[in-house]
A and B are shown apart, each in its own frame.
Chain A
Amino acid sequence: MSATDTIGIERLEALLAGAEPGTPAEARRAALVAELRGGALRAPEVLRSRLLARATAGARRRQPLLGSRGRALLLVPAVLALALLVAGVYGIVSPSPRPAAVTAEKAAPSVEAPASTSPALGVSSRAKQAQPVGGSSRTSRVLRSAAGFLALEGLVVGSVLVLAGLALPLARVRSRREERRLLGTSPAGRRGDLME
């Protein structure tokens, strides 16, 4: 029998678990495993003492109240609140569109106003009429404007999230491929010959 006799995976698992070898090939494989396990290799003492000191010193140091997950959980409502705030501010300060009725009235000057009425009175009556048309108070205009801005924010953030969602699996696949190449599990990696 040659040194490269095939040993089934189940038998190999059994040999690793300490089963008695049944064939010469298995005996050679078991001897190889025993030799590998018998090799003495300990971490340098300098490294051990440095890490133990670090672990002990770190234990005395005060741990942060929130871990990264906690911080992320706190960040999400904070970002949402900020988005709402920005949208609200935008709604207040932005030049909101005038109600349609007022715009139309401005385009076609008042016809209902009696001819005898002074221009000043005509304006004030138009302003009085404009207020209730379409139920469009200043508050509702602000809210509409803010909602529009919020929708825009959502659109932008949503697009970014969708793009990130698409890019992440691709990046992961690429990283796995590179890892296989680096560690020599792909033909390219073997050609790369990093370690030999």
Chain B
Amino acid sequence: MDVTIGRPGVVSKDVNAVPAPLDAPAAVGAPAFADVVAEHLDAVYRYLVYLTGDRSAAEDLAAETFEKAFRSWRRFDPRRGAPRAWLCRIAHSQAVDWFRAEARRRKREQSYLRDASDLDEVVFSDGLSPALEYALRKLSPAEREVVALRVLLELDGPTVARVLGISATACSTRLSRALKRLEETMSDVRN
């Protein structure tokens, strides 16, 4: 895998780029975290919307993710990966906790169905066709997650595999299957 090294002090536009040593938190201090928020908030939010299928939950989870990231910013090691992948790892674990809590809540309430009004609203993106929006809903959270990380956030295969804790092959297979299911569902809807 080619690794791009960013220039010191410059916020890299390559999402898979590993920042140069001067970008390290210890060297530039906490203000750099504001740059990280500015650069990656939209990506993390989009990832969480795709994963949870719920914008308000994604907003809360994004806030928690950045709060957690801020607390451990001093420990972030830029040599081990790009900030976006690090943030996605934190967001993933926050989201899993959220799913766990949701499962408990729904079990308590004995209700696994969402309200009809929820199903009508646009969740994933403004500007997507209704067929794609519907097809995205039909994917499992894990499938939407890999679509978000690979397609939307444009992270490379090995990085996404690390975020998800699976092999690179499994990651590619999951992505391929997810895109295929999207196409199938969209085709069904259109026909």
Q: Which residues of A contact B (CB under 8 A)?
A: 3-4, 6-7, 9, 12-13, 16, 28-29, 32-33, 35-44, 47-48, 50-52, 54-56, 58-59, 63, 67, 69, 176, 178-180, 182-185, 189-190, 192-196
Q: Is the CB of B140 within 8 A of A195?
A: yes
Would you give 30 A-B contacts (Cβ < 8 Å), ordered by A?
A: A4-B180, A4-B183, A9-B172, A12-B172, A16-B151, A32-B132, A33-B151, A33-B179, A37-B151, A39-B124, A39-B128, A41-B42, A41-B124, A43-B42, A47-B45, A48-B37, A48-B38, A55-B31, A55-B36, A63-B30, A63-B74, A182-B96, A182-B99, A183-B142, A184-B141, A185-B140, A190-B140, A192-B112, A194-B103, A196-B137
A-B pairs, top 10 by smallest CB distance, nearest first, are: A39-B125, A184-B140, A59-B30, A43-B45, A3-B187, A183-B142, A182-B99, A185-B142, A55-B34, A41-B125
Q: Of residues 163 to 178 in B, which have CB atoms within 8 Å of A's CB atoms?
A: 165, 169, 172-176
Other A-B contacts than A3-B184, A43-B62, 5 sampled, CB-CB below 8 A, are A39-B126, A55-B31, A183-B51, A194-B102, A195-B137
The one of B37, B125, B183 in contact with A28, judged by C-beta atoms closer than 8 angstroms, is B183
Q: Is the CB of B124 within 8 A of A178?
A: no
Q: Is the CB of A52 within 8 A of B125?
A: no
Report the bound CA distance from A193 to B99 in whole Å.
Answer: 12
Q: Is the CB of A36 within 8 A of B49?
A: no
B23 within 8 A of A: no
Q: Is the CB of B41 within 8 A of A183?
A: no
The one of A9, A40, A195 in contact with B125, judged by C-beta atoms closer than 8 angstroms, is A40
* A39-B127, A189-B140, A192-B103 as given contacts; A179 in contact with B96, CB under 8 Å: yes
Report the bound CA distance from A180 to B45 in whole Å.
Answer: 22
Closest Cβ of chain B to A52, distance in Å, is 6
Q: Is the CB of A32 within 8 A of B38?
A: no
B86 within 8 A of A: no
Report the bound CA distance from A184 to B36 in whole Å.
Answer: 31
Report the bound CA distance from A2 to B33 in whole Å.
Answer: 48
Count the B residues whose beta carbon is within 8 Å of the partner chain — how many? 66
Q: Is the CB of B33 within 8 A of A182?
A: no
* A40-B127, A184-B142 as given contacts; A7 in contact with B33, CB under 8 Å: no
Q: Is the CB of B176 within 8 A of A12?
A: yes
Closest Cβ of chain A to B171, distance in Å, is 10
Specify the chain A residue showing the minimal Cβ separation from B63: A47
By a CB distance below 8 angstroms, the chain B residues around A13 are: 157, 172
Q: Is the CB of B141 within 8 A of A183?
A: yes
Q: Is the CB of B49 within 8 A of A41?
A: yes
Report the bound CA distance from A4 to B135 in whole Å.
Answer: 14
Report the bound CA distance from A190 to B142 in whole Å.
Answer: 10
Specify the chain B residue showing the minimal Cβ separation from A56: B34
* A43-B42, A44-B59 as given contacts; A58 in contact with B141, CB under 8 Å: no
B8 within 8 A of A: no
Specify the chain B residue showing the minimal Cβ separation from A189: B140
Specify the chain A residue showing the minimal Cβ separation from B136: A36
B150 within 8 A of A: yes
B7 within 8 A of A: no
By a CB distance below 8 angstroms, the chain B residues around A55 are: 30-31, 33-34, 36-37, 66, 70
Report the bound CA distance from A51 to B69 in whole Å.
Answer: 11
Q: Is the CB of A67 within 8 A of B140?
A: no
Q: Is the CB of B183 within 8 A of A182?
A: no
Report the bound CA distance from A48 to B179 in whole Å.
Answer: 31
B14 within 8 A of A: no
B182 within 8 A of A: yes
